[in-house]
Amino acid sequence: MTLTLMCGLSFSGKSTLAARLAEGLPASVISLDLINEERGLYGGQGIPWEEWAKTNQIAHERGQALLEAGHHVVVDDTGSPRFIRDGWRAVAERSNAPFALVWVQIGADLQSERIRVNRRSHDRHDVTDSVLQEHRASFEPPTDEDALVIDAESTADPEQVAALAHELSSLRVP
């Protein structure tokens, strides 16, 4: 069992990759966006930090229960700021599970294109320009955290996903 945390900017492909990894491992996905929706909140519209804290607490409880039941877990979230990542490391440690951080990197042009496409198609909830700007400005990249890095254009590539799933399934607690 491994706890894998997605990390990256909005529209980088974290949810796509999380779903594909869940199929390949197999694993349970914990989506903070879905937990927010359960609570009647939509992150793309802006959510107060206190509400994000409650959502994170719910997600941590679900993750720990799944790990303790012997499941691989993939957490679909932005993984920023760093204290969010550290909180998930603590969940993995309490559950005696390996922790992996997957950083999905996206350039500004591709992110802007994906936002434009989403605003036309409405495939997912929109993220307001002010929330996007705040997220870009406050994003703390995991440059010193031994993250597994994948390019945003590769999140749906079956070979890339299979290689990443294999790497994740072979992790052991240090």
> CA torsion sign, 47 to 50 to 53 to 58?
negative
Q: Which residues pair with 6 in a beta bridge?
A: 102
Say if pTM beats, i.e. exceeds, 0.75: yes
Name the residue among 31, 75, 49 with its Cα closest to residue 168.
75
Q: Are 46 and 73 in contact (CB under 8 A)?
A: no
Nearest-angstrom CA–CA distance, 6 and 10: 11
pLDDT confidence tier of residue 95, bands split at 50, 70 and 90? very high
Question: Higher pLDDT residue, 14 or 47?
Answer: 14
> What is the domain count for the chain?
1
Nearest-angstrom CA–CA distance, 104 and 102: 6
Domain encompassing residue 82: 3-169
Looking at residue 44, what is its pLDDT?
81
Scanning the structure block, which residue is given the tokens 């951080």? 101
Report yes or no on 174 lying in a domain. Answer: no
Over residues 153-170, mean pLDDT: 95
Report yes or no on 116 lying in a domain. Answer: yes
Q: What is the pLDDT of residues 18-50, one digit of tens each?
A: 999 999 999 999 999 999 999 999 878 888 989
Report yes or no on 14 lying in a domain. Answer: yes
Q: What is the pLDDT of residues 74-85, one digit of tens each?
A: 999 999 999 999
Q: Are 173 and 96 in contact (CB under 8 A)?
A: yes
Scanning the structure block, which residue is given the tokens 């409650």? 54
Looking at residue 42, what is its pLDDT?
85
Looking at residue 41, what is its pLDDT?
93
What is the layout of strands, in order, in the sheet containing 72-76? 27-31, 72-76, 3-7, 99-105, 148-151
Q: What is the pLDDT of residues 111-160, one digit of tens each?
A: 999 999 999 998 888 889 999 999 899 999 999 999 999 999 999 999 99
Looking at residue 160, what is its pLDDT?
96
Q: Are 11 and 123 in contact (CB under 8 A)?
A: no
The CATH number of residue 60's host domain is 3.40.50.300
- Whether a cis peptide bond, with omega within 30° of 0, leads into 26 is yes
User: How many CB atoms lie under 10 A from the CB of residue 128?
Assistant: 12
